[in-house]
Amino acid sequence: MRALVLDAEWNPRDDYELSPEESETHKAMNSGQVWQHPELRVEECERPEPDDDEVLVRVRCTGVCGSDVAMTETDDDGYMHYSAYTRYPNVIGHEFVGDVVETGADVDLFEEGDPVTAEVTDYCGRCEMCRRGHHGHCNNFEQLGFTIPGAFAEYVAVPEKILWDVSELRNAYEDDRSFYRAAATIEPSTINYYGLFGRAEGIQPGDYYVFHGAGPIGLTGMNVARAAGAGKVIAFEPSDERRAIAADLGFQHVYNPIETDPVAMINEVTEGMGGDVHVETSGAVTQTYPVIDDTLAEGANVVHISNAATAPELALRKYQGATAQMYGSEGHTGQGIYPRVIRLMAAGHLDNLPIVTSTFDLADADDAVRQARKRIDGKVLVEM
Ligand SMILES: [Zn+2]
Ligand SMILES: [Zn+2]
């Protein structure tokens, strides 16, 4: 089968201390410290064989994630920007939808023909973190498209326990192509849903939301916020193209943070109340947190979703003064997040189809990642 493979050189930085596990397995906990000179290629690979507890999925559509982009970008020394858990060479891609074509001997939740998507983290279910209910932070986790083969491929093998049926969505879309494209955006929506409703507590219909960054995660988050009854959705995004996508989605309060004063804009739109919910989706935290600090509504929830290497200074006194709280949020595993996002989409409350702005064939999947690097799209998809 054909697949998009990322390869890189294992060259730990001189000042990076490898753990014994990293040395043994060549799975890097911090990719940016270890992997040098990443290269992307569409190649012929072995078609995966599903284990007894796995399902073989014929992939239909896979979205390019910011993490896929960061894996291909490097610093001046050639080390990749992506800083989490990976092993290469690997087939990348994790925001996908496809149809079940084969089931392992122990699989009974799915059958051939079911359209499915998957959570990214394959957790063990037995470690301390899993037993506490934090499956997303499993001590023995693997991740599709990061440490095990992913979905920029004709086929992917996926453990049954992280798969979700999406057939409910079919009725919400006119044709198969739209259905599959929309279903490929479930994963980025769940990242937001988990942050807003799995992690933060007390977000209410009518709340004023501020999204700091309207890239693929910010845009899907704005859609989730609207579906959840946001009073107003405000967003700041420097890319003209991305602001235009947000405007096409019907969002009225979308501004360039470089040309406007974000604090003044938030105060104007909220009539001085501030943001009830702030979502950090840009990664430019040294610029966004000073704005957040100054526009906290009473009882505000700040949800930190982006993956930023730098650390902002926080005006903690202002959090006290506003009885505000901050929630760190990573991933989307467990807590019924997937089925609820699927229901929202099936009910027509959450439609990400207009966010999809570029599509590529699998043969050109490397170009799809290059397109995403321009940071002007809503979502770039690869169709198989
Ligand atoms: Zn992703
Ligand atoms: Zn575990």
How far away, in angstroms, is 302 Cα from ligand 2 center?
Answer: 28
**CA of 124, nearest ligand number:** 2
Q: Are residues 245 and 367 in the same domain?
A: no
Q: Are residues 121 and 43 in the same domain?
A: yes
The 3-class SS string of 212-248 reads ECCCHHHHHHHHHHHHCCCCEEEEECCCHHHHHHHHH
Domain carrying residue 361 = 2-185+352-383
Task: Specify the number of domains making up the chain.
Answer: 2
Distance CA(103)–CA(160), nearest Å, equals: 9
- What does the angle CA 118 – CA 367 – CA 33 come to, to the nearest 5 degrees? 70
* Per-residue model confidence as pLDDT tens for the chain (384 residues): 999 999 999 999 999 999 999 999 999 989 999 999 999 999 999 999 999 999 999 999 999 999 999 999 999 999 999 988 999 999 999 999 999 999 999 999 999 999 999 999 999 999 999 999 999 899 999 999 999 999 999 999 999 999 999 999 999 999 999 999 999 999 999 999 999 999 999 999 999 999 999 999 999 999 999 999 999 999 999 999 999 999 999 999 999 999 999 999 999 999 999 999 999 999 999 999 999 999 999 999 999 999 877 889 999 999 999 999 999 999 888 789 999 999 999 999 999 999 999 999 999 999 999 999 999 999 999 999
Q: Which residues surround ligand 1, an ion (CB under 5 A)?
A: 65
How far away, in angstroms, is 301 Cα from ligand 1 center?
Answer: 23
How far away, in angstroms, is 133 Cα from ligand 2 center?
Answer: 9
How far away, in angstroms, is 334 Cα from ligand 2 center?
Answer: 12
**CA of 122, nearest ligand number:** 2
Q: What is the CATH number of the domain that holds 317?
A: 3.40.50.720
Q: Are residues 242 and 306 in the same domain?
A: yes
How far away, in angstroms, is 122 Cα from ligand 1 center?
Answer: 14
Q: Are residues 74 and 205 in the same domain?
A: no
**Strand intervals (E) in the chain:** 2-10, 35-44, 54-63, 90-91, 95-103, 115-118, 121-122, 142-143, 155-159, 163-165, 208-212, 232-236, 253-255, 275-280, 296-304, 325-328, 356-361, 379-383
Q: Are residues 180 and 194 in the same domain?
A: no
Q: Is residue 52 part of a domain?
A: yes
Q: Are residues 142 and 196 in the same domain?
A: no
**CA of 141, nearest ligand number:** 2
Q: Are residues 119 and 33 in the same domain?
A: yes
Q: Are residues 315 and 218 in the same domain?
A: yes
Q: Are residues 180 and 192 in the same domain?
A: no
**CA of 330, nearest ligand number:** 1
Q: Are residues 6 and 129 in the same domain?
A: yes
How far away, in angstroms, is 171 Cα from ligand 2 center?
Answer: 36
Q: Is residue 211 part of a domain?
A: yes
Q: What is the CATH number of the domain that holds 369?
A: 3.90.180.10
